[in-house]
Amino acid sequence: MELLMKDPIKLPCGLWLQNRLVKAAMAEDMADSSHLPHSKFLEAYGKWAKGGWGGILTGNIQVDVRYLGNYNDLAIDEFDDDTNAVLDTWRLYANRCQEHGTPVIAQISHPGRQSRRGAGRRGIFTPTIAPSPIPLYLGDGYVASCISSMVFGKPREMSINDIKQVIHQFVNCARILAICGFSGIELHAAHGFLLSQFLSPRTNRRLDEYGGSNDKRVRIVLEIIKGIREVVPSGFCIGVKFNSSSDDSSTFEDSMRQIGLLVEAGIDFLEISGGTFEDPIMMGRGTYSDRKTHRSHGTLAREAFFWEYAVKTRKRFPNLILMLTGGFRSRQGIEDALQNNVCDLVGIGRPAVINPAYPRLIMTNTSPDHQAKVSLNKVATPFWSTFFQINALGGGAETFTDLNDDRGKEIKNPHTIP
């Protein structure tokens, strides 16, 4: 039987992906002080460009250079379009990603309260910004509380002017990326970053037009989408990365309502992921009732972390292009999700780092199923993180590889969270 993952797919904007496998967004954490995509990015993405992917998602490109998630994030300054040399650097990045015909979609983001002190061009004592002044909760212990205070601090509640500026920054970032040849953008509204903070009633306790009800909490994302559509070509893709919710009826229905509004806004795809700095389930761990919410006993054999939520989303929105990311390792696991119509696209993270040509491995018919996979070690939570009751540390450990080393040697980098 022919593999469904080999089938091309057309997004609503008209963009074609040559197959169903997408190199997922991961935190590269390797920009220099200019926060521009220089040689390291060209080298890494040049390898993925040759890998046979249907699409390539970049790691975070921050929309405000003052607020970064990692110290070495990429970022687009508001005045980058006034500098030809800067635009040429972004064009070179887009061209390198797409030099073999694979479209590249840039994940654009604002960390909000998850911006570390010193990460970005702001004073070390300048507070982060957030919908409401709620600090990060990293655990019950005294040490966890101290780390939260020292590393992140208490965020400043955003004014309406702040919100309008952030909307402008997202729109401007997308406009510049479209000018430079990217095929689309994905709004990062998951993993506890700023847009996700607006969507959640736990972190958004505003009572104005951007909070106080479910529809108002999603308003900032809808205004960003509308603004981007007005300044980019019609064929430019707009996707959204979205956190799965718990099975609590009200929380689940809130998330379905938000997805419905995103669909009405005309998004091209929705990527389902999950987790935050406080609850790092995107690394295969986290609280969320020890992941029972997302993987019940009946689905533990399945690879995808968020299978059940994707199934429920599909029932509500059968025509929405769904991308499911997290946990996929093998041909059988990916094909199972596609054949069961759980999703249309599969996001591949860590296996893409170990093997940049992962699609060629699992789509080659000469390779038997038991070989068409990548085996990865579980990223262990450090003992001291457990001892001091710190949720996030260790959960953010990501697997990196030297992309010049064909052996794919794993190295742990505790500073990166996808």
Q: Is residue 215 part of a domain?
A: yes
The pair phi, psi for residue 61, each rounded to 5°, is -110, 110
Q: Residue 389's pLDDT band (boundaries 50, 70, 90)? A: low
Q: Residue 278's pLDDT band (boundaries 50, 70, 90)? A: low
Domain count, the chain: 1
Q: Is residue 277 part of a domain?
A: yes
**Model confidence at 132: pLDDT above 70:** yes
Residue 116 is given by DSSP the state P
Question: Residue 393 has what pLDDT?
Answer: 45
Residue whose pair of structure tokens reads 């596609």 in the numeric block: 338
- C-alpha 54/C-alpha 24 separation (Å) is 11
- C-alpha 41/C-alpha 106 separation (Å) is 13
Domain that holds residue 215: 4-413
**Model confidence at 52: pLDDT above 90:** yes
In the Cβ-directed half-sphere of 183, how many Cα atoms lie within 13 Å? 23
Question: Residue 144 has what pLDDT?
Answer: 75
- Judged by average pLDDT, the poorest of 51-55, 346-350, 374-378 is 374-378
351: domain CATH number? Answer: 3.20.20.70
Q: Is residue 178 part of a domain?
A: yes
Q: Is residue 293 part of a domain?
A: yes
CA-closest candidate to residue 268, choices 11, 8, 9: 11
Amino acid at 147: I
What does the pLDDT look like over 171-195, one tens digit per residue?
999 999 999 999 999 999 999 999 9
- C-alpha 377/C-alpha 293 separation (Å) is 23
What does the pLDDT look like over 290-330, one tens digit per residue?
344 444 434 444 677 899 999 999 999 999 999 999 889 99
Helices then strands, each counted (H, E), the chain: 13, 16
Residue whose pair of structure tokens reads 């509500």 in the numeric block: 316
29: left (phi over 0), alpha (psi -120 to 50) or beta: left
Say which residues have a Cβ less than 8 Å from residue 261's Cβ, sequence separation at least 6: 215, 218, 222
Report the first-to-last Cα separation within the chain, whole angstroms: 34
Q: Is residue 265 part of a domain?
A: yes
Helix ranges, 116-246 (H) = 142-147, 160-179, 194-199, 214-217, 219-229
What angle in degrees, to the nearest 10, is found between the helix axes of 219-229 and 160-179? 40
Instruction: Share the mean pLDDT of the chain.
Output: 85
This prediction has a pTM of: 0.88
Q: Is residue 418 part of a domain?
A: no
Question: Residue 61 has what pLDDT?
Answer: 98
Q: Is residue 307 part of a domain?
A: yes
Q: Name which residue leads in pLDDT, 274 or 90.
A: 90
